[in-house]
Amino acid sequence: MQDKITIAILGASGYTGAELIRLLLAHPHARIALLTGDSQAGKPIGEVYPHLAAKGLPDLVSLEQAQYAGIDLVFCCLPHGTTQTVIAGLPAHVRIIDLSADFRLADPKQYAAWYGHAHQALALQKEAVYGLSEIARAAIAKARLVANPGCYPTCALLPLIPLLKSHVIRGEGIVIDAKSGVSGAGRAARQANLFTEIDGGVSAYGIAAHRHTPEIEQALALAAGSEVALTFTPHLMPMSRGMLATIYVQLAEKNTADDLRKLLLAAYAKEPFVHILPQGIAPATQQVRGTNDCVMNVFADRIPGRAIIVSAIDNLVKGASGQAVQNMNLMFGFEETIGLQLTSLFP
């Protein structure tokens, strides 16, 4: 195990890049040596994010200026569609954690159908490991390229995968109703994300067409051992960060909601970041704000044969940068919780 690893963050001027910097600054085994941000190239990171000033960080450079000699790990926080060619051009000695969607879907045809263009790095796609930390530890530890899961998939898959693996719920009829803070839409200036546009309102988007749908179905099909088709609707909430998923499932055989809860308690009993709340307590985004935690619980539906699962994460931490650091720890043999032992910010 290396005592210190040298890190590059591509796309460091976005929210996930800034959150990575925040977490890595407190990591005893991490040294940030390279930050890119094409639209902000040449600027100190403190000029883009004042809270990161005076931290001894390198200035932002363009991707063309980036040099990778001595770099052990690259975090790629670039938009989907641009990441494939960038990662394909990285030197063979670096390991990579990609926070975009470019390597999450195993089937190139499915990627092309959902993202509107052919995959540009098919050889790399074959070696990419889907990095849901609690589910794929062994594969992540050996991987050169980890596809960091999306925020909505993380929030939904952590409760659903153990239940489908144990066949206590049915693979059909799953409904995921999810809400996210506005940071999930990125930092680029968009009219729909202005304070006056979102304040005081809630809106659904990507209805029946959100690109996280095939990512969720892919992981659930592996867990269930058969195809899973679900209904997924995301909503934008007037808050900066946080994510909550309310998931409706059909019980299999004579299972009850309490059986589901007991199974999740057993599945995650030794997990540092996944917590099943006490009976009857509903998860809320305030419980996980600024942390790498996922909190969940199970409730009986008033309709016989159904149950309701509620799951909450911070979309920028467990849903993105925190899980990326967790995967980094796994890849380099560090204690999994290092740099992530965070208590929720409240209020």
CATH code of the domain containing 111: 3.40.50.720
> What is the extent of the structural domain holding 304?
152-315
List 77, 151, 155, 294, catalytic entry: 151
pTM of the complete model: 0.96
CA 297/CA 280 separation, integer angstroms: 8
How many domains are there within the chain?
2
Same domain, 23 and 165: no
Give the confidence band of 190 by pLDDT, cuts at 50, 70, 90. Answer: confident
Mean pLDDT over the full length of the chain: 95
294 noted as active-site residue: no
Quote the CA–CA distance of 297 and 70 in Å, as a whole number: 45
Q: How confident is the model at residue 173 (pLDDT cuts 50, 70, 90)?
A: very high
Examine residue 335 and state whether it is found in any structural domain, yes or no.
Answer: no
Confidence bin at 191 (pLDDT 50/70/90): confident
In this structure, the answer to whether residues 309 and 163 fall within a common structural domain is yes
Q: Give yes or no for residue 189 having a pLDDT over 70.
A: no
Which residues is 297 bridged to in the sheet? 310
- C-alpha 24/C-alpha 7 separation (Å) is 9
- Whether 326 maps to a domain, the answer reads no
Q: Tell me: do 283 and 169 sit in the same domain.
A: yes
* Measured distance CA(327)–CA(174) in Å, rounded: 28
Q: Are residues 204 and 238 in the same domain?
A: yes
Residue length of the chain:
347
Residues 156, 121 share a domain: no
CA Rg value for the chain: 20
Q: pLDDT tens for residues 281-298? A: 999 999 999 999 999 999
Query: Are 234 and 212 contacting, i.e. CB atoms less than 8 angstroms apart?
Result: yes
